[in-house]
Amino acid sequence: MLKLKNIEECFYPKTIEEAVEILKNSREPLRVVGGGLHLSVYPNPQIKGFIFLNNLGLNYIKEEEGNIKIGATVTINDAAKSDLIKGLFNGNLSSALSSIASELLRNQITFGGSVAQREPYSDIATILLALDADVVYFDGSEHTEKIDEFYKTDFRAKLKEAIIKEVRFKKFDSSYKFGMERHVRNATDIALLNMAMLAQIEENRIKDIIVSYGSRPMPAIRFKALEDFLKGKDLSEAVKEVYNFAKENADVKGDIRRDEQYRRELTGVFAKRLLESFGR
């Protein structure tokens, strides 16, 4: 089955500088290819060529200056199975990553590709928002933006002349808890709703918290009203109250897959489950 009918050129740059140069100077529409899943599932017939990122050396996961850095071509499984990621949040981040899609697709989906595509159902976007991650991209010079801010800008226009280099987030200490919930019917299904939470709990009180949710069915965003509601609360008290608040204040809609009321219920249930898990 021929999916892309007008491909004339393939580029295999060796450095990110070279890749950006090719992207900027091309007269024809080119597609930057990390894992390539989105491209093959949603082929765009206007594309005339590919820039493959395989040889750019962006396949790293490392801890540097108090940050966890994940290169753009790292796959979900690379990250989920890395000892560095397994060692964070009692293994909860690794478990969350391992729950996304199927084993085969986790071997193909990359962090760079997920951030660049920002599919409404992306679990990676939800996770990175909760981790307050930075997106590092290169357009001739390097830029770092909080992913929340990056998505508020016209990031697709930026990426016409830039390539994502890495995502990174702070290495949080043990007072921070992380968790993710997603509702699917089977392994390869996309989530009907996903939610991730990062909370700093001290003496059973929520000192700081980030909540993000996606597949609403709109793209992932932070749930700021819920964050404000929970901040400073006693954890046990928050567990009792969170379901109703999250359900009533969620910015969700219905679509062909599930109606709005169902997503509201899920939002409340997920928020409660995540907070409960932080108390264990």
Contact residues toward another protein (CB under 8 A) are 1-7, 9-10, 12, 33, 36-37, 39-41, 50, 52, 54, 98, 101-105, 107-108, 187-188
Give the distance between the most distant pair of CA atoms in the chain: 61
In the complex, minimum distance from the CB of residue 35 to another protein, in angstroms, rounded to a whole number:
8
**With contact defined as beta carbons under 8 Å apart, do 245 and 227 qualify?**
no
Q: Identify which of residues 188 and 236 has a Cβ nearer to another protein in the complex.
A: 188
In the complex, minimum distance from the CB of residue 71 to another protein, in angstroms, rounded to a whole number:
17
Q: For the packed helices 260-279 and 235-249, what is the interaxial angle rounded to 10 degrees?
A: 170
* DSSP-based three-state secondary structure for 143: strand
Tokens of 60: 């790293």
Q: Identify which of residues 9 and 251 has a Cβ nearer to another protein in the complex.
A: 9
In the complex, minimum distance from the CB of residue 10 to another protein, in angstroms, rounded to a whole number:
5
**With contact defined as beta carbons under 8 Å apart, do 263 and 193 qualify?**
yes
Q: What is the residue type of 172?
A: F
Distances (CA, A) of 260 to 108, 148, 180, 242: 32, 24, 21, 19
In the complex, minimum distance from the CB of residue 187 to another protein, in angstroms, rounded to a whole number:
4
In the complex, minimum distance from the CB of residue 36 to another protein, in angstroms, rounded to a whole number:
5
DSSP 97-139: HHTSS-HHHHTT-BHHHHHHH--TT-HHHHHHHHTT-EEEEES
In the complex, minimum distance from the CB of residue 235 to another protein, in angstroms, rounded to a whole number:
30
